[in-house]
Amino acid sequence: VLALAAAVAVGSVTGVSAAVKSPTSSLVPVNAKNVAVSNGNTVDTKANGTAEVGVVSAKKSTATIPSKVTVKGVTYTVTVIKAKAFAKKAKKAKKIVIPATIKKVNKKGFTGTKKLKTIIVKGKSFTVKKGAFKKVNSKKITVKVNKKMSAKEFKKLKKNLKKAGFKGKIKK
């Protein structure tokens, strides 16, 4: 009985890490924090199949946020940029590319990007929380948005960026 109880306890602990097999043998998304992915980024995964990027790494002077990440055989859609996502491995990035899957940039999302000049937005709409540009000289930054973004969404984004503390240029 003790061996059975130990096996059950060990089985339940190991299944928590990043993906769990369902009774039908396919992997299902789970909640996990600070999971390292192959491109040097770190994400928090959610049971609904989404992920929040916590650490973004840069290649040369460009930091590109992935639209999808795979953790232990499960593919997650990246929808959120967390606070200080660029502060550790992308401090010197001059350009940030945000995919269409991103729906929200959290407070202090761009904090730590001292040399940032350009943010390229691939999507048609997303929100930027107040304080996303805290401790960033945003006057020198240009945000280039998707040309297919509607005039209504563009106006909404401009207002949103201003509330977030952005003081640079916004181009279509």
Listing DSSP states for 87-120 in one string gives TTT-TT-SEEEE-TT--EE-TTTTTT-TT--EEE
Q: Cα–Cα distance between 140 and 75 in angstroms, integer?
A: 36
pLDDT value of residue 1: 41
Confidence at 19, pLDDT banded by 50, 70, 90: low
| DSSP state at residue 149 | S
pLDDT value of residue 28: 86
pLDDT value of residue 7: 39
Q: Under 8 Å CB-to-CB from 101, ≥6 apart: which residues?
A: 67, 68, 77, 78, 79, 123
Percent of the chain beyond pLDDT 90?
Answer: 72
pLDDT value of residue 38: 77
* Structure token pair of residue 78: 């990246």
Q: pLDDT, tens digit, for every residue of 21-77?
A: 444 446 888 899 989 887 889 999 999 999 999 999 998 899 999 999 999 899 999
Q: Cα–Cα distance between 126 and 142 in angstroms, integer?
A: 17
Asked whether the beta carbons of 86 and 93 are under 8 A apart, the reply is yes
Which secondary-structure segment (H or E) carries 155? helix 151-163
Torsion of CA 166, 86, 51, 151, to 10 degrees: 30
Q: Cα–Cα distance between 36 and 103 in angstroms, integer?
A: 21
Q: How many CB atoms lie within 10 A of CB 45?
A: 25
Q: Cα–Cα distance between 130 and 110 in angstroms, integer?
A: 11
Between 2 and 112, the more confident residue is: 112
